[in-house]
Structure 1
Amino acid sequence: MENRNNFAFGRKNFIIMFVGILVLAIGFVIMTMDNEQYGLGFMGITLGPIVVLLGFAIEFFAIFYKDKPNV
């Protein structure tokens, strides 16, 4: 009898998703650390959103990542 995993994502997918969530959180923290009024400095307008977009790209990759089958 074959022991088959019925989950849509594997262990690597969840690890990549967790990394993506951490990057998203870091991006939002970077945006809040801006000292300019209303967050209109470099960190609030440029660096933070770029890091958040990177986090979303990691999440997108984690969803579509597929392990190679063990032969």
Structure 2
Amino acid sequence: MGEQKRKKQNELHRSSFIFKKKNYKVMLIGLGVIALGFILMSGGGSDDPNVFNPEIYNWRRIRLAPALVLIGFGIEVYAILLNPDKNKNTN
């Protein structure tokens, strides 16, 4: 009897997905934030290698973009750990 129960539970677990729709939405938001950070980090170079362009040390490239990338990775970790099936009325 117990073995049949375990087999039935294993079949149920195999057919279900680990993440739900809410997890994937949060993951897409995190990927968007990471992509935005990398886009903001790009540029600032010079066409002539003998000419220095101080735009490479712009606040946007040094502070804002890496912060956005780290925030995006934090959102990804949150999306993985998020449990959308958790009941909010647990007393």
TM-score (norm: length of structure 2): 0.63
Please identify runs of 4+ aligned residues in structure 1 that moved more than 2 A. 33-39
1:50 is matched with 67
Which blocks of at least 5 consecutive residues in structure 1 are unaligned? none
Describe the superposition over 1:20-55 as per-residue Cα deviations: whole angstroms up to 9, x where unpaired: 000000011111155754722111110000011110
Which blocks of at least 5 consecutive residues in structure 2 are unaligned? 1-11, 46-52
Larger radius of gyration: 2
Deviation at 1:8, TM superposition (A): 0.7
Q: Provide the aligned C-alpha RMSD in A.
A: 2.3
TM-score (norm: length of structure 1): 0.79
1:28 is matched with 38
Instruction: Report whether the alignment pairs 1:62 with 2:72.
Output: no
Residue type of the alignment partner of 2:81 = F
Q: Secondary structure of the residue that 1:57 maps to in structure 2?
A: helix
| Identity fraction in percent | 34
User: Number of residue pairs matched?
Assistant: 67
